[in-house]
A and B are shown apart, each in its own frame.
Chain A
Amino acid sequence: MGRFVEYDVIPCAGINVKFRKNLDEFYRAHRTPRHLKRLRKRQALLRRKAHFNSQSDSDGLVFKEEFSYAKVIVGADGLPPWSATSRRSKSPCEIKLPKKFSIIDDPQSCLEALQSFRPVFENVRIPGVLINHQSTREHDLASEILLAKVAKNCMELHRSKGRSFVIDGQYPESERLCRLIRSIGIVKELEVEGHTIDGDANEHEKLVIFKRRSSTEDESSVGSMDYKTKATQDFVEHIDCCLQEAGSQLKDTAKQDLAEYVGEIVTNAQEHSGTGHWQIFGYLDKDNEDRVCEVVIFNYGDTIADTFKRLPQEDFARTDLNRYLSQHKEKGILGAEWEADTLTTLFALQGSVSSKNQPTNSTRGHGTVSLIEFFQTISEGNESDLSNRARMCILSGEEHIRFDGKYRLNEDSGRPIIAFNQKNDLRQAPDRKYVRKLNNVAFPGTLIAIQFILPETATEEIEA
C-alpha cells in the first residue's frame, strides 16, 4: 500500500490528493525536479500496466491470453498472479536447463525445467532469473521458444508491478547451440543488447527465423489471402530464400510437400483449438553442412482429446473412437496401463478421423495423415543414422507422441493407420516409448515440432 492513501486529504495548491489518481495533478502543480521525476516514473509504470492489461499487443495476439497460458506451462495457474507481501529475495531464481532440453526427445525434463519459473510468477519480489544452459548438450526450437515465452511473460508481469526484473543467462558450451540461442532463442526474443546476431557484420552467422501468428480477424475469402494461406506461402518462400543464398533451391515437388505439411497443421490449429489462434516458427540453418531445418506450430486452447471429449457420446465422429476405447477397456489396457486421453490422441492421428466428421460429410481427417506422410518422406534413408535421424512430436496437453521413423503409416486395410506397435494393429497397446502421458506437466494446447535434415532430393542447384 502506498503512503499517500494513508491520508484522507492532502491539501496542496488547491488540489485534494485523496486518491492515487490525483497524484499526477499534484506532481504537475509542484513541478520541482523531484516531483517531475516521480511523475515520469509513475507514468511509465501506468503505461506498462496498461500494456499488460490491454486486450491485444501490437501483433494482434491477445496478450493476457498468452500470459495465462504461460502460467499453465509453469504450473502457476489458479494461483494469485503475484503477492506484494511475499518475502523479498535478494538472489535471482536459478533455472537450470537439462542436458537434453528438447520437447521432441525429452518433454518431461523440458517442461519440468520451465516449471522452475513458478516462484517468479508467484512472487514479484524476486529480482530476476538466471538461466543456466551450461549442462545443455541438445536442444530444439520448440523448447527454446517456450523458454523465451515464459521468461518474457514473467518479465512483463514484474515490470507491470513496477519491479525491476533481470534475466541473466549462461550459454551452453557448444558453439552451435550458442548461435541458435542468440539467433532464435531467449536472447533473441528478449533482444538482449550486444548478444543478438544482427547487422551486416554478422550476416554470415545469422540464422533467420521465420515467425507468424494468426490474426483475430482472419476469415476465409476468395478475393484475398487469409493469414494461414499467407503464412504457408511465406514459409515455403522463406526456406527457398535461405537455400538460394547457398546456391540451390527447393524443387517444385518439395514446395508442394512443405506447403501441404504446414498448411494442414495450421488449418487444424485454427479449426480445432477453440481459440482460432496459432503460431508458427521455423528456420533453415543454411551454414550448417547438413542443412538442419526445424518447424514448430502450436496453438493454445483445446487439446486433441478435449475436442473429442466435448462431443456427445452418440456423435458420428465418436463412433469408431468409442469402439476403440471399449476394446482396450475390455482387454484391461485402458485404465490399468493407459488413460483415455492418451489413446484418444493416438486414435485422432488415424486416417479419416476428425471431430468434425458428420454422416452427410465425412471427408475430413486427412491433415494429420499428411503431416505424418511428410515426416516419412523426409526421414526416408536416414533411419540408421541416429544423429541425423528426422524427429517429430505432437504434444497435446499431457499427451506426447514421438516420431522417428520406426513406426510408419500403413494403408493396406483401406484407411491409413499408425498404431505404434510392431504389428501396426490398433487392437494392441502402443509402444510406451513413443506414445505416452507426461507426469504433472502439460502444454495448454497442441504443439507440433519437427527437426529434419533437408534431403538432397528436395533441392536442385540454381543454374548460373
Chain B
Amino acid sequence: MSKENVEVNLEKLSGKVFVGRANGQAARKYFRLNKYSEKDNRILFLVPKDTISVNSSFFLGLFGEDVQRIGDFDKFFEYVDIRFVDDRFKDQLEVAVKRSLSKSSYGI
C-alpha cells in the first residue's frame, strides 16, 4: 500500500527565522501532524529559499514526538523527507535528531 504524502511547508508560516520549541509545537498543531503516522504517511518537509535559519529547537518542537515514537534515525527520516531542504539546514536537523536519540550515561 502506498503512503500518502503530506506537505509541511514553512512558507505557510511567517518569518525568515524559525526558532523555539514552543513555536515548533504551535506549528505542529497548525499542520495537524498528530493525525499522521509513519505507517500511512510520508511528510515532505519544505523550507522557503529566503529562510535564514531553522533552529534545532523549532524542528524538535515540530517533530520531537515523532522522533521519540519512532526511535530510529533512518526510520524517522523515511517518515520525514528532508531531501529538498538546503544542505545548510539539513546537516543541523540531522544532528539534532541524532543527538535526541543518543543514549549514553556521560561516562558516569
A interface residues, Cβ below 8 angstroms from B: 220-226, 228-230, 232-233, 236, 252-253, 255-256, 258-260, 263-264, 266-267, 270-271, 320, 323-324, 327, 350-352, 360-364, 366-367, 369-370, 413-417, 425-427
Contacts and interface: CB of A to CB of B under 8 A. Distances in A.
Contact of A366 (B19, B56, B88): B56
Contacts of B86: 252
Contacts of B107: 413, 417, 425-427
A232 B103 contact: no
A360 B64 CA distance: 10
A370 B60 CA distance: 14
A222 B30 contact: yes
Contacts of B27: 222
B53 interface: yes
A344 to B, nearest CB: 14
A352 B96 CA distance: 10
A230 B29 CA distance: 21
B16 to A, nearest CB: 6
A364 B20 contact: no
26 contacts: A222-B14, A222-B26, A223-B14, A230-B15, A252-B86, A256-B52, A256-B92, A259-B55, A260-B92, A263-B19, A263-B57, A264-B56, A266-B19, A267-B19, A267-B20, A270-B20, A271-B21, A352-B102, A361-B65, A361-B68, A362-B68, A363-B60, A364-B21, A364-B60, A415-B102, A426-B107
B52 A255 contact: yes
Interface in B85-108: 86, 88-89, 92, 96, 99-100, 102-108
Interface in B15-48: 15-23, 25-27, 29-30
Nearest to B30: A222
Contacts of A221: 23, 26
B67 interface: yes
A401 to B, nearest CB: 17
Given A267-B57, A363-B68, A426-B108, A236 B17 contact: yes
Cβ-closest 10 pairs across A and B = A259-B53, A263-B19, A414-B104, A220-B22, A363-B100, A233-B17, A414-B102, A363-B64, A222-B30, A220-B26
B13 interface: yes
Contact of A256 (B57, B64, B89): B89
B5 to A, nearest CB: 22
A264 B14 CA distance: 19
Nearest to B28: A222
Contact of A369 (B13, B23, B99): B99
A365 B77 CA distance: 21
A366 B17 contact: no
Nearest to B106: A426
B27 to A, nearest CB: 6
A263 B53 contact: yes
A271 B64 CA distance: 17
A58 B78 CA distance: 50
A366 B52 CA distance: 19
B103 A414 contact: yes
A363 B67 contact: yes
Contacts of B60: 363-364, 366
- Which among B89, B105, B106 has the highest number of chain A CB atoms within 10 Å? B106
Given A220-B20, A230-B15, A256-B89, 19 more contacts: A222-B14, A225-B14, A232-B19, A233-B17, A236-B17, A259-B19, A259-B53, A263-B53, A263-B55, A270-B20, A323-B108, A327-B108, A352-B102, A362-B68, A362-B100, A364-B21, A414-B102, A415-B99, A426-B106
A146 B47 CA distance: 39
Contacts of B68: 360-363
B21 A267 contact: yes
B108 A220 contact: no
A185 B9 CA distance: 43
Contacts of A413: 104, 106-107
Contacts of A252: 86, 88
Given A228-B20, A229-B18, A229-B23, A260 B56 contact: yes
Nearest to A323: B108
